[in-house]
Amino acid sequence: MDFGLSVLIAMKATFLLLAFAYLRTLGFTLLSLPLLYASLVSMLLSIASHPLLNLPMLLGKNPDGTFPIWSLIMFSPYLYFVRGFSVLRRLWSGEAPFSEIREGLYVGGWPYSPEKLPPGNPAIVDCTCELPRNLEFSGHAYLCIPTWDTRAPQPREIESAVWWACRKRAQKIPIFIYCAYGHGRSVAVMCALLVALNVAEDWKNAEKLIRDKEALYSNEFSSP
């Protein structure tokens, strides 16, 4: 059982709580209160993302990829942090925003701007529960299977996403499957899709194909 995300968020909650206590001892009571709130939010999300609970719906992401106002307010310390961190990490790593695994089949990271989206008006499968859909993509066919970072979507969700994507491919529509960075959740769904479309014999071969393509695109993207 992989506790990855829940442990990381719990560590963040502990750090924020210690920072709150330290500032309070210095007499900065009001200044320390946001740290206390952020710590409590992080602890709640650490529990909700635990594999035994696995409650991505806690964040309230809508089927259209937007977040309700109450969620943006209540979970603001987490939601805005992961957005900023995702953008900065992508900029720092220099990774390609997406990779074309086969003609019309793309996998990649969160498309926070239009230039991060593959060409051809693709249908989008969003595997994140923490990142919003860019409103500029409202004209694209869209399916959200909200999943915690470092977790794989549930089998029924993968099956639903593959069935939906196969229908779009039958209409000659490109498919773009994404998560935060294009390495975990989105790869799991793409593997299943490659097998369903008979591009790969099994998940192992599908994953190898994806990793090889991602490495190729990353090298091309970072070349001068």
Quick check: is 68 in a domain? Answer: no
Instruction: Give the whole-angstrom CA distance, residue 53 versus residue 60.
Output: 16
151 and 214 fall within a common domain: yes
Q: How distant, in Å, are the alpha carbons of 20, 43, 189, 215 from that of 33?
A: 7, 15, 41, 44
Provide the whole-model pTM.
0.91
Structural domains counted in the chain:
2
106 and 209 fall within a common domain: yes
44 and 120 fall within a common domain: no
Q: Do 70 and 164 contact (CB within 8 A), yes or no?
A: no
Quick check: is 23 in a domain? Answer: yes
Quick check: is 67 in a domain? Answer: no
Q: Do 144 and 126 contact (CB within 8 A), yes or no?
A: yes
Quick check: is 83 in a domain? Answer: no
Range of the domain at 31: 1-54
Closest residue by Cα to residue 166 from 158, 97, 134, 62: 158
- Out of 54, 73, 97, a domain closes at 54
Quick check: is 112 in a domain? Answer: yes
Closest residue by Cα to residue 140 from 65, 61, 57, 62: 65
Instruction: Give the whole-angstrom CA distance, residue 86 versus residue 67.
Output: 17
Per-residue pLDDT of the chain (224 residues; tens, 9 = 90+): 456 789 999 999 999 999 999 999 999 999 999 999 999 999 999 999 999 999 999 999 999 999 999 999 999 999 999 999 999 998 898 888 999 999 999 999 999 999 999 999 999 999 999 999 998 998 999 999 999 998 999 999 999 999 999 999 999 999 999 999 999 999 999 999 999 999 999 999 999 999 998 776 555 544 44
Burial of residue 192 (number of CB atoms within 10 Å: 0-12, 13-18, 19+): buried
Closest residue by Cα to residue 67 from 121, 113, 129: 129
50 and 92 fall within a common domain: no
